[in-house]
Homo-oligomer: A and B are copies of this chain.
């Protein structure tokens, strides 16, 4: 296999992994939204696949670096792939967390506003992750920047939610759900960060410069 092919394969693998992770995220968010335990379990089960994809990318990456001398764009691309895979793996964990939470709260009442916000944040993160991967695929640093900016919205939601939460907390029955959802919110906030990091990789890939968005 030529160098070209090897790198292309690696990138394809990354985007396949991205697909998996996005599916898992969608499943996770929808499961949480609908308190759908089956879907939650499905989400959790998908994580093995994601981990496998992650390991494969890592392994292939090491092999690639061992057998080829990469420079310039090739090098940046393969580096971005390695790092993006780590972020995707994390986003996968996030989906798993949503799944777990769904299992914990499906039969308890949850505070509506918080629930709605979590779903809103979840959708935002899905959107961001998806755009981030898109930007990486298309070497589109404008999209990357635009995507990264969406994180402000996630952060805003997160902060406002944290401030709101104590006020809503009234009903003791809701407590379990509430706490669980708050951790989800925190988790999703991190998810946004991962999407941003992927966007940074796009920027690095295109410009060769490391920059924090």
Tier of interface size on chain A = 35 or more
Tell me the smallest distance from the CB of A118 to a CB of chain B, in Å. 13
Question: A66 contacts B71, CB within 8 Å?
Answer: yes
Tell me the smallest distance from the CB of A78 to a CB of chain B, in Å. 9
Q: Which of B51, B172, B183 contacts A212 (CB 8 A)?
A: B51
Residues of B within 8 A of A55 (CB): 210, 212
Closest to A93 in B: B193
Does A59 lie at the interface of the complex (its beta carbon under 8 Å from any beta carbon of B)?
yes
Q: Which of B51, B83, B169 contacts A175 (CB 8 A)?
A: B169
Listed in ascending order, the chain A residues whose CB lies under 8 Å from chain B are: 51, 55, 58-59, 61-62, 65-66, 69-72, 75-76, 79, 82-83, 86, 93, 162, 165-166, 169, 172, 175-176, 178-180, 182-183, 185-187, 190, 193, 210, 212
Measured in the bound complex, the distance between the Cα atoms of B180 and A183 in whole Å is 10
Known A162-B179, A169-B172, A182-B183; 10 more pairs at CB < 8 Å = A59-B210, A62-B76, A66-B70, A79-B82, A82-B82, A83-B86, A93-B193, A165-B175, A166-B178, A169-B175
